[in-house]
Structure 1
Amino acid sequence: MKKILLSFMSLALVLTLGSCDLDEPNYGKTTSDNFYKKQSDINEALTGAYLQLRNTWNEYALNFYFVGDCSTDDALKGSSDGDRAEVMELSNFTVYTTNGEVGRRWEILYRLINRCNDVIANAPTAQGDKELLARYEKEAKALRAFGYYSLVTTFGGVPLITAPMQPAEILKIPRASADAVYTQIISDLTDASTLPAKGEYEASEQYHVTRGFAKTMLAKTYMFRGDFDNAEKVLRDIVEVDKDYDLLPDYGMNWRPQYENSIESIFELPNKVYDKSIATGTNVPHFFTSRDVPGYQGYGFHVPTTDLFEAYDVDDPRQTYVFTRTGDRYIGDEQAQDNHQSATGFHDYKMTVPKAEKQGTDVWMISYNIRLIRYSDVLLLYAEALNEMNKPVEAKKYLNKVRKRARETNPLDPRKDMQAYVPATTSSTLPDITTTNKDELREIIWHERRVELAMEGWRRDDLMRQHRFGEVMRAYANKYNVQKGRNFDDERDYLLPIPQGERDKSNNILTQNPKY
């Protein structure tokens, strides 16, 4: 793909391929026999695959944060109870099979998978540069694996579709086992692990998936399955062999525009606004910011919990870049932040785009990249895998690298001219971890993942693979005497329900998850 922006021709193609009859499954579509013949066709099809994660009115990132954080102890739904009620169901574990947010996840991810299948099936026989076509195929495999990972870790076994199919054929495909889905994910990511490294693409292709993305998702897959041996091998390759990434010197840099797609970024969704007539921006920040500040006036969703706030040491500088507080004022704003409608008094810093950085855009087309995977995530996964493989001294090395960067972070946000709370850092802030006890170190690493990756959408994933989702959520409900977490049923709530609409279309060939 020579340009990330769509031409009018490719935009028409995406819209055409995106349409489907109401009786067709959301995970199937009719393919065209008149397309996919040339390299340019495959290029545009791959563009269509990438764009399934970026649809301005149906963004995957919004669902990613709602499912990944708001169903955990890290975030409340926020806003009024009746606004986006389907997210409140996720938060309280009272999810119906007709839940809109659940259906949205299924639809977006299968649309992604379908576009990838088109590329994978047709790239080998298309006319053009065979080396470039092979790369397109590997990119599509990496994206397809990401789609299936996101499905299998929330729904369990799902229909495993790896080639373009007609809707009538799709409707006859039952759910594959979770093991079969994971096998396909591992195969796709292994193939994609030979993609170019970060920095080896042309400037116009800088947001394409890389070998680092493929290997990171492969490591996450092994970690989710408790295969720490293979996870350690892949993570060692990323950290000690490839060395494609590094931490930025200051934690807060990760959310400043001048550091978009930085050395720390492994997977980032670009949302730059170049032309207001084309919806290339993102509206996710508008959903997550305060309702009461001119220039923001968001919906107030994705609110950090008090429990997350209490997880931080009082002098941890990362607090500055996780919690937006009443009284904070960004440079260029006329009014300070006003969070009085937030149940905890906080809003999500990482999705707060200051007014000065939104010049020339509106609330539905904000120039802001979504940072989905950072290198600190990889370092902490590596520390965890090493510890589980009885290598605590090595594990501490990577854990302490993350902590060192955190303690050297500026507690004063350079984007603000007023800051309600400044962590009082000292030489004793976030000292290196010294214990080599495996059980103690495991708990410390888990805690470090929570405070380092807070509000970035991976909390549910962590709690599930650590097999403590129910335990944590029921403890949360008891601690705060709230409904959130009280209904958690270990036999039901580790998985989301299969959308009832998709079951109806399949004439119930798709079975339902337990207790839904």
Structure 2
Amino acid sequence: MKKLTIFLLLLGIFGSCKMDLDQQPISDATSETFFQTTNDFVQGVNALYNGLQKYPDRLMNLSETRSDNLYAISDGGVRDWEGINSFHKTIASNPYVQEAWYTNYNVIFRVNNFLEQLQSKGATVITDEGLRNRMEGEAKFLRAFLYFDLLRYFGKVPLIDHVVSAEEAKTIPRSNVEDIYTFIIGDLNKAVETLPVPAGYAEADRGHANKYAAKMLLGLVYMTRSGPTLGIEGAGQASNEWSKAVEQFNEIIASNEFLLLDKYADIFSYNNERNKEVIFNIEYASGANPVVGSTFPWVLVPDNWFNSLGLGTQGGLTIRPVSNDFMGTYVTDDSRRPFCIQEGYIYNKVAENRPFIKKFVDVTKVPASRMDWPINYIVFRYSDLLLLKAECILNGAPGNSSTDVDAVVNQIRKRAGLTTELANVTKSQLMDERRREFIGEGLRWFDLIRSGTVEPVMKAWIAKEDQAKQMSDFQLNYILYPVPQSELDNSPGLYTQNPGY
């Protein structure tokens, strides 16, 4: 098993080596040698962000593909996403499932090492207390972000807040969901306390986590915990913390740092990154060596479309069609439809009529390397915040549901070119609007779970969409993914597999 060193992290090496809890800690000697100056710590915290490189791809593979937005039955041989889409029971060794576990823990181990070095040497090495506190806030934001990701996919997971040895890792069981939430909220409260607003960063560091990103994540954590339990040990705890979420969102709104852009397409423009709608994004840089560009733009796009345009292959992928059900939700003149969805093409005189998501592709910006797309991924944006706040109000948080909710939904619809205004918007209508607004962004699956509608929606959708009878029946256990089989094999008896697998 490969051992990651600080040197490799600073080169931006992301690697695809297998990482699990049976790993050696990052070398103490390497850490002690490296962290000697303020600049060393600056480079160290910058390197932590490298671990988010594959996060957007994970959303496409595990969330978007799992939802009713895509009917991803492969027609070019069995693809790894098919078991995800079709609710197969035998996906404990699926590479997408393993990546979610291993990559998140890989970065958590880096964060823990960084925080221990900051604790032991930061006060001596970094004379600027504000910088030292900011670094702690960034690291804790990232750790909370990673644990929240693990929690939503797997439910109970091992909670590790310090550098551990290989032998110690083999003894750490999965923690209860409530304990994980307590830890996440603690990290986020520290991040809110210590992180600056976006303007508090130098221009070169503006892509780092800021105070409002921490508040946005904290609000989403409260909302997710407020969702119904659904009879599983998942993210929903029925905690009724909708008002706590709104408190976080209101502070972001009151800052006047963010606004809705006039045109939907401008949010995702390659020439308009870090625009006023962006609260937090994952930064990529095309043309670097080693490569630190993005790959998510082509994850849901078939190669033959690129080939039909004379742009060469990207990921060697076949089509993951957008579901007929989703396409049926559009109304005339919705500008999001032509921007987000490609509806057919011809390659080698063969017509492909099934639609697919091309939302993140600018065909004038296709890079020389398919691994090096020059576009950031927006994790949190202002339109999401406004619609999440509306959801909280519909669930009983302070606000006027007939005024505040309608105003937000109609504002989003107006931007999309829709002239018909809605009145007395219901939860179902709100979720439908979120589905169209965030198609391809990996939010739909989590929206269904948080709203408690995942079971009836998915069962009805499969019955309607799966005329070829390729999918398994949906059951609530499939809200969670299985613990990777390699983790079960690594420490026999330490973990119990999630039910249903």
What band does the TM-score fall into relative to the shorter chain? 0.7 to 0.9
Equivalent pairs counted in the alignment come to 467
Q: 1: CA distance between counterparts of 2:22 and 2:349?
A: 38
Residue deviations 1:58-99, cap 9 Å, x none? Answer: x2221221111101101233654535x331111111042222
Contact 2:80 2:95 in 1 (8 A): yes
Corresponding residue for residue 515 of structure 1: 500
Match of 2:48 in 1: 49
Confirm or deny: 8 A CA contact 1:155 1:496 kept in the other structure: yes
Cα distance in 1 for partners of 2:337, 2:73 equals: 20
In the other structure, the counterpart of 1:488 is: 474
| Alpha-carbon distance in structure 1 between the residues aligned to 2:274 and 2:406 | 23
Considering only aligned residues, what root-mean-square deviation do their CA atoms show, in Å? 2.8
Partners of 2:312 and 2:70 lie apart in 1 by 20
Deviation at 1:120, TM superposition (A): 2.1
User: 1:24-423, aligned counterparts within 5 Å?
Assistant: 25=21, 29-33=25-29, 34=32, 35-54=34-53, 59-77=54-72, 80-83=75-78, 85-96=79-90, 97-124=92-119, 125-126=121-122, 127-128=125-126, 129-194=128-193, 195-226=195-226, 227-239=241-253, 241-275=254-288, 277-292=289-304, 293=308, 294-295=310-311, 297-298=313-314, 299-326=317-344, 345-354=354-363, 356-358=364-366, 361-389=368-396, 393=400, 396-397=403-404, 399-409=406-416
Name the TM-score, length of structure 2 as normaliser. 0.86
Q: Shift of the alpha carbon at 1:23?
A: 9.3
Which residue of 2 is the match for residue 421 of structure 1? none
Q: Is the 8 A contact 1:94 1:487 kept in 2?
A: no
More displaced, 61-70 or 399-408? 399-408
Q: In the alignment, which residue of structure 1 is the partner of 2:443?
A: 458
Rate the CA distance shift 1:373–1:339 in 2: closer, same or farther, 3 A.
Answer: farther
1:168-214 Cα distance to aligned partner (Å, 9 max, x none): 11111000001101111111111111311123311111110111111
Query: Could you list the per-position Cα deviations for residues 260-294 of structure 1 after superposition, in whole angstroms to 9, with x for gaps in the alignment?
Result: 1111112222222133x420212222333232222
For 2:413 and 2:96, locate their aligned partners in 1 and report how far apart those are by CA, in whole Å. 34
Decide which moves more: 463-472 or 394-403: 394-403
Percent identity of equivalent pairs: 24
Which residue identity is paired with 1:434? Answer: A
Q: Is the 8 A contact 2:449 2:479 kept in 1?
A: yes
212-221 or 119-128: bigger deviation = 119-128
What is the TM-score when the length of structure 1 is the normalising length? 0.83
Q: Distance in 2 between matches of 1:23 and 1:266?
A: 31
Q: Which runs of 5+ in 2 are unaligned?
A: 227-240
Task: Please give the alpha-carbon distance, in whole angstroms, between the structure 1 residues aligned to 2:139 and 2:282.
Answer: 16
- Which is further off, 165-174 or 20-29? 20-29
Residue type at the aligned position of 1:29: P
Contact 2:112 2:161 in 1 (8 A): yes
Deviation, 1:389, is 1.5
Q: Which amino acid aligns with 1:444?
A: Q
> Whole-Å Cα distance in 1 between the matches of residues 440 and 18 of structure 2?
35
Residue of structure 1 in register with 2:238 after alignment: none
For 2:187 and 2:65, the matched residues in 1 are separated by 30
Structure 1's unaligned 5+ residue stretches are 1-8, 328-335, 410-424
Q: 1:31 to 1:134 in 2, by over 3 A?
A: farther
SS of the residue corresponding to residue 326 of structure 1 reads strand
Instruction: Go from structure 1 to structure 2 and tell me whether the alpha carbon gap of 1:350 and 1:21 turns closer, same or farther (over 3 Å shift).
Output: closer
Q: Whole-Å Cα distance in 2 between the matches of residues 256 and 12 of structure 1?
A: 32
Q: 1:36 deviation in Å?
A: 3.4
Give the corresponding residue for 1:431: 420
